[in-house]
Amino acid sequence: MKVVSGGVTAAKGFTAGGVHCGIRKSRTKRDLGLIYSEVPCSAAAVYTTNLVKGAPLLVTKNHLADGVAQACIINSGNANTCNANGVEIAEQTSSLLAKELGIKTEDVVVASTGVIGQPMTIDPFKRGVLPLVKDLSKDGSPRAAEAIMTTDTVKKEVAVSFELDGKEVTVGGIAKGSGMIHPNMATMLVFITTDCAISPAMLQKALSSDVKDTFNMVSVDGDTSTNDMVVVLANGLAGNEKIEEEGENFKTFMKALNSVTVALCKALAADGEGATKFLECSVTGAKTLCDAKKAAKAVICSSLVKAAMFGSDANWGRVLCAIGYSGADVDVNKVDVAFCSKAGSISVCEKGASVDFSEEIAKKILSEKEITIAVTLHDGEASSVAWGSDLTYDYVRINGDYRT
């Protein structure tokens, strides 16, 4: 498997684009993105578990009922959520695009991200659809990635290629997400494309299985969004024998999908609102996978751990505290904790108690941009990893004044 360039257009037959249509006031930031496949695709998706759901999710769910899609249109600047006319706008957007592209309305995936409960009209979409379709190109992944950004500071694109039945297969994707990130069964906005030939059912199986260990293990601020969505489109143009069941080829595809989703997860966490540091919590030696996940996620979600990491403070008691309230079945008298970064690794807690360590070395390790909090439970064989970011002054600044 190798990393390749091209993001969401790396796979055969996919183009993308992004324009400014006026949903955002600033003309310097694209606010409408498009991903298009020259042929209809197997499509799979997972959605937020929040009871408050963005109108585009409802429309997209209907459109994907048959497991087929050909294009994704995504706006930023307004979540189209808690609006009385939200579903109407999402449906109109789909049909405007379908008409322009000459495809079926039901083959359009529609998504929105931005402020919840802001009034919205169809006008910017009417203005934007034609220029957007004209903007489609093989090098359009960065423009689509930019168009879906909100408080994100960097574009998130990744792609890998691998071999299946002697054919080169590519999987690539883009993502947005920076705040209100605490996915639960689904996630922020992520669009993944592949030229792999795979049935809708197997594609859904691959995605649903993957998100449990990837997007669902990311948290920036504990707030599960109303508009979370991960969509995968597979157009089959790689020419491999169509994956219709489990087996070696499905495993290989899963592995490629996982390398794309993990890279996007890490990119999302590292670009958490206000973040100065990327945090990874690895838990090993847990009784069960569920215990490992609960412990890893509690550590990553703890405001106190996050603030300590911002301050490069080796305050490991907060890690123990988070494990203790995580709900994981752990023997707290067996827990080891170490902090690791490219500057080194230091053990700070053994068997649930303090060990003598150099504060100076710990500070140096924690001053790096990428920190791993390594927890060993000595209670079994299960392990898990969760990703997040530190809690900073800028998180407060960004969210104390988001709408204005």
Q: What residues make contact with a copy of itself under the rule CB under 8 A?
A: 49-53, 79, 81-84, 115-119, 179-180, 182, 184, 221-226, 301-304, 307-308, 310-311, 313, 315-318, 320-325, 330, 332, 349, 352-354, 391-393, 395-404
Q: Which is nearer to a copy of itself, 3 or 332 (CB)?
A: 332
Residue pair 192/233 in contact (Cβ under 8 Å)? The answer is yes
Of 280, 6, 286, give the one whose Cα is nearest residue 142. Answer: 6
Q: Which is nearer to a copy of itself, 99 or 351 (CB)?
A: 351
CB of 82 to a copy of itself, least distance (A): 5
Task: Give the β-pairing of 278-286 and 229-234.
Answer: unpaired
Q: Which is nearer to a copy of itself, 20 or 24 (CB)?
A: 24
CB of 143 to a copy of itself, least distance (A): 28
Q: Locate 194 and state its tokens.
A: 């592949």
Residues labelled catalytic: 187
Q: Which residues of 257-272 are buried (b: 16+ CB within 10 A; e: fewer)?
A: bbbbbbbbbbbbbbbb
CB of 314 to a copy of itself, least distance (A): 8
Residue 81 carries which side chain, given as an amino acid letter? T
Residue pair 43/67 in contact (Cβ under 8 Å)? The answer is yes
CB of 325 to a copy of itself, least distance (A): 4
Residue pair 150/138 in contact (Cβ under 8 Å)? The answer is no
Q: Which is nearer to a copy of itself, 107 or 228 (CB)?
A: 228
Of 137, 226, 143, give the one whose Cα is nearest residue 182. Answer: 226
CB of 64 to a copy of itself, least distance (A): 21
At 54, give phi and psi (nearest 5°).
-60, 145
- DSSP of 158-224, one letter per residue? EEEEEEETTEEEEEEEEEE-SSS---SSS-SEEEEEE---B-HHHHHHHHHHHHHHTGGGEESSS--
CB of 286 to a copy of itself, least distance (A): 13
Residue 389 carries which side chain, given as an amino acid letter? S
Q: Locate 227 and state its tokens.
A: 């508009």
Enumerate residues 6+ apart whose C-beta is below 8 A from 166. Answer: none
Query: How far are the Cα atoms of 12, 100, 298 from residue 214, in angstroms, in the given order?
Result: 25, 35, 15
Q: Which is nearer to a copy of itself, 35 or 279 (CB)?
A: 279
Residue pair 158/262 in contact (Cβ under 8 Å)? The answer is no
CB of 42 to a copy of itself, least distance (A): 30
